[in-house]
């Protein structure tokens, strides 16, 4: 079997990308670095690698690039389909619900009036989220009608049409933390608690990471959530609710800088193991 050739799609070299490059160098693997800010595609492009790791911070660029790479015969991690589903909270929630994965109640509306009706049906408090985005940005916890009317009016006047798609999620009480589980292929490799005094528990917003034991229930739900969106290298966000553990988001460009020392798991090595396996399978 010939040697595998690897590419990495990026637009900024963060800690995660450096760790992946260093892990690859220890194995004698050299990435072809593909900067999405400079790349020019034509519709007949052919590429000099077999497997592409998608590590772009831009969802829009990653989505279009993955489509072009896949349709040119390159195996991508993650796939275009996974990026399409995980990059849209409505699509993610629908995939989780359809697969029978426990997930918070969600309603979707397209006008301020119907969004207020949806909130009334769910009951206050609710969380209003943008349908696309990450790092806990532009989320709002709405405790009453006055807050809902003010935030909905504000969003209705923002420029992007995405802000006029109202994703309303039932607010769940959680014990000052949530869980992020890392799924690579068919294995839940580790998980962390993200603890904060704020109701938003993203580490990008200052939450503290600590090791979370992998219980059978946690592994089952995390793997089911990853499978529901198409599988690959994924981070599943979960809430410990009064009704048990629920999955509420799945992330496809996984950030792991705070989770290696916290869990003792070498996540970059695990990702490379998976990439090599996928590449060898494709060449077999």
Specify the pLDDT at position 253. Answer: 96
pLDDT at 284 over 50: no
Fold of the domain built from segment(s) 6-85+272-283: Rossmann fold (3.40.50)
- Placement of tokens 């009036």 in the chain: 113
pLDDT at 1 over 60: no
Per-residue pLDDT tens for 114-144?
999 999 999 999 999 988 876 557 788 999 9
Domain with CATH 3.30.1490.20 in the chain: 105-170
CA angle 157, 160, 163 (to 5 degrees): 65
**φ, ψ for residue 131 (rounded to 5)?**
-70, -20
pLDDT at 199 over 90: no
pLDDT at 205 over 70: no
pLDDT at 60 over 70: yes
222 vs 214: CA distance, rounded Å: 10
**CA dihedral of residues 164, 167, 170, 171 (deg, nearest 10):** -80
What are the tokens at 4?
């595998």
pLDDT at 276 over 80: yes
206 vs 30: CA distance, rounded Å: 34
Specify the pLDDT at position 256. Answer: 95
20 vs 183: CA distance, rounded Å: 17
Specify the pLDDT at position 161. Answer: 75
Q: Among 4-8, 159-163, 201-205, which is the least confidently predicted range? A: 201-205
CB under 8 Å to 161, separation ≥6 — which residues? none
CB under 8 Å to 223, separation ≥6 — which residues? 183, 186, 188
Domain with CATH 3.30.470.20 in the chain: 173-266
Percent of the chain with pLDDT over 70: 95
Per-residue pLDDT tens for 160-176?
777 889 999 999 888 88
Confidence of residue 4 (pLDDT cuts 50, 70, 90): confident
Q: Mean pLDDT, the chain, as a whole number?
A: 91
Indicate the CATH number for domain 173-266: 3.30.470.20
- For residue 174, how far is the Cα from the chain centroid? 20
Specify the pLDDT at position 155. Answer: 84
| Residue 222 DSSP code | H
Per-residue pLDDT tens for 223-253?
999 999 999 999 999 999 988 999 999 999 9
The helix/strand/coil state of 275 is helix
Across the range 96-111, mean pLDDT stands at 97
Confidence of residue 159 (pLDDT cuts 50, 70, 90): low
Confidence of residue 43 (pLDDT cuts 50, 70, 90): confident
Decide the pairing of beta strands 106-109 and 75-77. Answer: unpaired
Listing from the earlier edge strand, what are the strands of the sheet with 233-241?
208-211, 187-195, 177-184, 233-241, 244-251
Contact (CB, 8 A) for 258 and 192 = yes
Domain with CATH 3.40.50.20 in the chain: 6-85+272-283
- Please give the model's pTM, rounded to 2 decimal places: 0.92
> What top-level class would CATH report for the domain 105-170?
alpha beta
């Amino acid at each position: 079997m010939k040697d595998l050739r690897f590419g990495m799609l990026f637009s900024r070299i963060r800690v995660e990308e450096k760790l992946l490059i260093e892990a690859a160098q220890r194995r004698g693997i050299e990435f072809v670095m593909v900067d999405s800010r400079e790349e020019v595609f034509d519709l007949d492009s052919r590429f000099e690698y077999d497997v592409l790791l998608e590590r772009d911070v831009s969802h829009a660029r990653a989505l279009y690039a993955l489509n072009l790479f896949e349709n040119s015969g390159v195996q991508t991690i993650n796939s275009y389909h996974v990026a399409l589903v995980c990059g849209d909270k409505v699509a993610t929630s629908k995939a989780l619900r359809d697969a029978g994965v426990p997930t918070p109640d969600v309603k979707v509306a397209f006008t301020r009036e119907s969004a207020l009706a949806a909130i009334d049906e769910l009951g206050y408090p609710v969380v209003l989220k943008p349908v696309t985005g990450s790092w806990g940005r532009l989320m709002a916890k709405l405790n009453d009608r006055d807050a809902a009317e003010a935030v909905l009016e504000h969003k209705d006047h923002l420029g992007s049409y995405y802000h006029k798609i109202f994703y309303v999620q039932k607010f769940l009480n959680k014990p000052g933390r949530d869980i992020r589980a890392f799924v690579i292929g068919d294995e839940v490799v580790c998980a962390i608690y993200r603890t904060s005094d704020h109701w938003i528990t993203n580490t990008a917003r200052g939450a503290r990471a600590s090791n979370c034991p992998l219980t059978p229930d946690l592994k089952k739900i995390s793997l089911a959530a990853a499978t529901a969106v198409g599988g690959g290298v994924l981070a599943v966000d979960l809430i410990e609710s009064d009704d048990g553990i629920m999955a509420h988001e799945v992330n496809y460009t996984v950030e792991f800088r705070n989770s290696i020392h916290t869990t003792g798991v070498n996540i970059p090595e695990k990702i490379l193991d998976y990439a090599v396996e996928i590449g060898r399978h494709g060449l077999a």
